[in-house]
Amino acid sequence: MRNLKISIAYDGTRYRGWQRQKGDVPTIQGKIEDVLCKMTGEEIQLIGCGRTDTGVHAEEYIANFHTNCDLSIELMLNYLYEFLPEDIVVKSIKDTTERFHARYNAKAKTYVYRINNSKFRDVFNRKYTYHTDETLNLSHMREGAKFLIGTHDFQSFTSLKPKTKSTVRTINYIDIVEDNGVIEIKVNGNSFLWNMVRIITGTLLEVGSGKLTPKDVKKVLDEKKRSEAGPIAQAKGLCLKEIDY
């Protein structure tokens, strides 16, 4: 049996996230599995590198699946390109080892949150950036972000109910850059909790607008209470950029 590793890009605007759900609910996993089942004549279950929420995008999502199908990689790619909707593309397929697992073998993930900080919303990129015309202090945002680097309990930065499971995670870096009115917040960590990146972004936006001070970020982290952090930033600005193995 083959174990195939696939790289996927998708626009999450019209999907209810990655994970397949009951009923006729549009999800990324569901769309790809349906096409794979028709292609192979088998029941295919995709193993994803994680769950992206409703409206979140991905430039490099990694998954794997097992199959007895002996089609060539080229024919598989062509089939998927033809029958998947235009907002989902399988960019590559590779035969990998039997033990490869897209989720468990992932060492780090990089998310990017994009903010249009111009006076007007960008009509062409409005589905992929959050717009605010509020003046943002990027220096303060970078200063506040430093308190989140390292291994911490991120209970304040998740929508998970307290004590549901461990909320300890490691953030390797947070980069905040601006180019021609577009701000990118790049967050790299070993793994992420439900809504973690969006809540981090919402909190840093509060710092940038002056509603919180940079040092308040440490207080929020130490309190371990969701109510102390900022709001959840809109899903459309978030994109899974890269997975490290």
What pLDDT does 32 receive? 98
- Write out the two tokens for 231: 């709001």
For this structure, is 87 an active site residue? no
pLDDT for 163 equals: 72
The pLDDT value recorded for residue 220 is 96
182-189 and 168-179 beta bridge pairing: antiparallel
> Per-10-residue mean pLDDT for the chain, 245 residues long?
98 95 92 97 96 96 97 97 98 97 97 96 92 96 98 94 85 97 97 96 97 97 94 97 97
Per-residue confidence (pLDDT) for residue 90, from 0 to 100: 98
Domains along the chain with CATH numbers: 2-96 (3.30.70.580), 108-244 (3.30.70.660)
CA–CA separation, 49 and 89 (whole Å):
16
**11, 24, 53, 87: which one is catalytic?**
53
pLDDT at 24: 86
H/E stretch holding 36: helix 28-40
Report yes or no on whether pTM surpasses 0.85: yes
Q: Are 144 and 217 in contact (CB under 8 A)?
A: yes
- Structural tokens at position 186: 């790049």
pLDDT of residue 112: 98
For residue 162, the model assigns a pLDDT of: 73
